[in-house]
Amino acid sequence: MKGSMLTILQCQVVEEELELSLGELCQACGAESDLVGQLVAHGVLEPRGDSPQGWVFVGASLQRTRQAMRLMHDLELNLPGVALALDLMEQIRQLEQQLQAAARSPRGG
């Protein structure tokens, strides 16, 4: 695996160009499918499709799943805890955006 490579590797932006099946998401995150199923059950992930075999996850699910796994591992959170933490973090993000938009709107002068 050593040695320099001369070819330029092409890549895809996961969040923009890709959708993932359950298997692909598990592989990409090193997650058990059970865990992903639980994240879906708690509304952390919202795939299209009715059954686990048919689930299609948007690319951003990769980031969200890894974040959930980090929080569960690092902060020893359980699933309801991690679902709550992610919801609150999302709310903070939206509020920060609104705050910035509000700071932008009043005209100078």
Tokens describing residue 103: 């700071």
Of the candidates 72, 70, 33, the residue with the CA atom closest to the CA atom of residue 55: 33
Site for another protein in 12-31 (CB under 8 A): 12-16, 18, 27-30
Choice between 3 and 50, CB closer to another protein: 3
Contact 14, 52 (CB under 8 A): no
What SS3 class is residue 48?
strand
Q: Does residue 102 touch another protein according to CB under 8 A?
A: no
Choice between 30 and 80, CB closer to another protein: 30
On the 0-12 / 13-18 / 19+ scale of CB atoms within 10 A, 32 is exposed
- Identify the residue among 41, 89, 95, 99 touching another protein (CB under 8 A): 89
Residues binding another protein: what is the number (CB under 8 A)?
Answer: 39
Q: Does residue 56 touch another protein according to CB under 8 A?
A: no
Contacts of 78 (CB under 8 A, 6+ apart): 72
Q: Which residues bind another protein (CB under 8 A)?
A: 1-2, 4-16, 18, 27-30, 59, 62-63, 66-67, 69-71, 73-76, 89, 100, 103-104, 107-109
